[in-house]
Amino acid sequence: MPNKAAPDASRRSETARRAILAAALDLVAEVGYAKLSIEGIAHAAGVGKQTIYRWWPSKGSLLFDAFLTLAGEGEATALPDTGDLAADMKMVLRATVDELNDPRFDQPMRALHTEIVHDPVLAADYVKRLDEPMRELKKQRLRAAQRVGQLIEDVDLDVAVDMLFGPVLNRWLQHTGPLTHDYVDHVVDTALRGLGPR
């Protein structure tokens, strides 16, 4: 049965891959990014170091894949659209804040964001595989809001996305203030109303 070998090997590969990604997430939460090593991940996953190096060029790229697995659990294919832009944005940003305040997400996401700051190749990968698809979902929601007159027509949607999501990510990365539901509600209301007098 010559067709049997390939699916089995492929299943074993997939099992190993998942074990490595899970080990990377567990370990980074436990020891932090600086002390995270390919050796440690290989040991925890029960595979050889070479298996990891065959699939990932760096611990940054491995962690990024691990993070995508984490972020992909129950991933939304679109942002909520209840017909109320402010309410929907608050819902999304409150969920983001809950995630950022969860230690299981906090460590790998900090590690990823740190690597992005310094590693242009990983940053390009991040933009292509995570930022752009997410940004497109956000823009879809904003376009829907434009169609029902809840968002001005002649706005740069990239600027709008940055204005809604940037302050929260920034506050989280720089520890410049507490990340609360109250804060994101203020951000959404202020972004929609604007800082200038009406």
DSSP 80-139: --SS-HHHHHHHHHHHHHHHHTSHHHHHHHHHHHHHHHH-HHHHHHHIIIIIHHHHHHHH
116 CB contacts (<8 Å, ≥6 apart)?
122, 123, 126
Residue type for position 11:
R
Regarding 198 and contact with a second copy (CB under 8 A), the answer is yes
Q: Does 33 bind a second copy (CB under 8 A)?
A: yes
| Residue 139 near a second copy by CB under 8 A | no
191 is a site residue for a second copy (CB under 8 A): yes
113 counts as binding a second copy under rule CB under 8 A: yes
Number of residues that bind a second copy (CB under 8 A): 51
Q: Please state the closest distance from residue 6 (CB atom) to a second copy, in A.
A: 39
Q: Contact with a second copy (CB under 8 A): which of 150, 179, 180, 181?
A: 150
* Residue 149 binds to a second copy (criterion: CB under 8 A): yes
Counting Cα atoms < 13 Å in the Cβ hemisphere of 102 gives 10
Distance between CA atoms of residues 195 and 37, nearest Å: 47
Instruction: Select 9 or 127, whichever has its Cβ closest to a second copy.
Output: 127
Question: Does the protein bind a second copy through residue 31 (CB under 8 A)?
Answer: no
How far apart, in whole angstroms, are the C-alpha atoms of residue 167 and residue 170? 5
Residues numbered 71-90 forming contacts with a second copy, rule: CB under 8 A = 85
Binding site for a second copy (CB under 8 A): 32-34, 85, 110, 113-114, 116-118, 120, 123-124, 126-127, 131, 135, 149-152, 155-156, 158-160, 162-164, 166-167, 169-171, 173-177, 183, 186-187, 190-198
